[in-house]
Amino acid sequence: MTNTRLLARDEVPTELTWDLTLLYPSDDAMRADLDDTLLLADKLSGFAGHLNGAKELLAALNTHKQIETDLEKEYVYAFLRRDSDTTDATANALFGTAAKAATTIATKESFLEPEILAIDEGALDGYFKQEPGLEEFRYELEQIRLQRGHVLTTSEEKLLSRLNRSLDSADEIYNTLNDADLNFGQVHDDEGNLVQLTHGNRSQFTESLKRPVRKEATLAYAKPYHDLRNTFAQTLNSFVGAQNAVAELRHYQSGRQAALAPHQIDEQVYDTLVKTVNDHLDLAHRWYRIKKDYLGLADFNQADINTPLAGDDVLKTTFAEGKQLTLEALSVLGDEYTAGLKEEFDHRWIDAAENAGKRSGGYQISVYKANPFILLNWTDKLYSTYVLAHESGHAMYSWFSQHHQPAQYADAPIFLAEVASTFNEQILTSYLLEKYQADKKVQLYVLEQAIDGFIGTIYRQTQFAEFEHTAYQTEQAGQALTADFLDQTSSALLKKYYGPDVALLDGTATQSWAYVPHFYMNYYVYQYATSWAASTSLASAVWQHKPGAKEAYLNFLSAGGSAAPLEILKRAGVDATTSQYLEEALAVFERYLDRIEVLLKN
């Protein structure tokens, strides 16, 4: 799928695109359903001021559930249409329509939580006895009741809902700028040809065995972020400021508390992650030192850190091959899991090829009334197979929870969802190490992928978590997040996490904060690190066929968001309230380092 010229959307082979007819046959069909959902929201708003009995409460909750599941299907269709080509005016207009409708509906629903909170505790207990149908909503109601003191009055919630789109506008501006408007120019490939540099093909150049190619690509990728550093700083300042303002309005002490508390995640989980990883920075530094010594580069720098020690693309994988490897690896989870994967692979739930205007990176988004969808930007590197396995982990989590939970519990919180995705990466590594155990070069290559997983997920995401928390605290204290401040904060963290053996490149280190779209997802990144550590333990138990491990993991997937995240994870066998799971994961990382050093010596 590698091209010197990015394909236009209509040039991409159909089999490499997602099938949006699984949602709607046309834009007009989606608009018609959206109109019906808006009418249903009017019906729900009629319950305002009338939640004075068990029957009325159940009717309101059932109507709300229908609205949310219908709107999810409509909104995701427009979202995927837009992300297929962010330069498509028709698709952007459709997404704008869906986003506006979502804001309107949220405003009409805004009375619900304040009025539920106003119900007397004893009266609510009586409602459960009067209406058995309310039992399905017990956990949802408990979650709402936990927010007592943070949900505003009905009129205030209505006003805040109307402002949501404006408050979130920095996210949309950032993604449009990042995906549709940035031009990284052309760079030389290994053969000396000039090729357009993109988000999707960047790794092909930054992982080149030719140092000039790596450096040129690294600097070229950094240039537009540097040129627009003040714009990117303003979008981040605007987003963080909005999140902090809403947190204050809701009577939280900080933006972090506002992000974590609704999911019952103790802030100590965040702080324990940062402290534990900082206590083990020597392992990350050791990895960079291994690379520096093996490559024989006295001036080892940022442009060199992704150089593959095993050689260039020891395991290239086409999209078809990547799907097959993923299926074979995850067969360890049994027939039900592999049946779900086959549905995903055979029915075009995946948009694989990069095209002009397509959103960068990769993600999964699910639709309760249909199926999950995955966005990829395939490059034929083994890394793309890891991304496929990762996003398929999200998809199967959604698939299992959709088949075992009512709609309101089908979406697992991010804290759990990232466990399912990184679990698949761990299983893929174990499978490849076993499959190619007689080939030392492939062993080296796969181990390097695994080590890069620890570096990129535990270390880099914790670095991002430190940066993000600093940004929120700084803005909350009244200081603007200027480009200079963000550059200085980012550079200091890079130096700490890279250690003494990695030199920073001018123009590259300073704007690395602008590369990260997840900073617009409000305390998201730390969960990559906690989840990677948790999944290390769970995947090891399943791969080694420990009694009950597979069943416990499948039950974990089936639970969705039906209980507190820390409780669901604990049932699966991991207690994330302590540092033990982090220590165990980093011990695995250390063993990988020991193993790769032996291979390099041999």
In 3-state terms, what secondary structure has residue 3?
A: coil
Identify any residues that bridge with 188 across adjacent strands, giving them in sequence order: 194
**Cα–Cα distance, 199 to 181 (Å, whole number):** 12
Q: Which two tokens stand for residue 103?
A: 């804001």
**Cα–Cα distance, 91 to 407 (Å, whole number):** 27
Q: How many CB atoms lie within 10 A of CB 10?
A: 7
CA 250 vs CA 119, 149, 192, 236, 519: distances in Å: 20, 8, 57, 21, 21
In 3-state terms, what secondary structure has residue 204?
A: helix
Identify any residues that bridge with 3 across adjacent strands, giving them in sequence order: none
Crossing angle of helices 229-249 and 169-176, in 10° steps, is: 160
Closest CA to 402 of 559, 566, 535: 559
Catalytic residues: 391
Q: Is the dihedral of CA 411, 415, 421, 423 positive or negative?
A: negative
Say if residues 478 and 467 touch (Cβ distance below 8 Å): no
Q: Which two tokens stand for residue 426?
A: 């761990």
Q: For 182, how many CA atoms within 13 A lie in the half-sphere containing its CB? A: 29
Angle value at C-alpha 407, between 404 and 412, nearest 5 degrees: 75
Q: Cβ contacts of residue 88 below 8 Å, gap of 6+? A: 9, 81, 82, 357
**Cα–Cα distance, 567 to 565 (Å, whole number):** 5
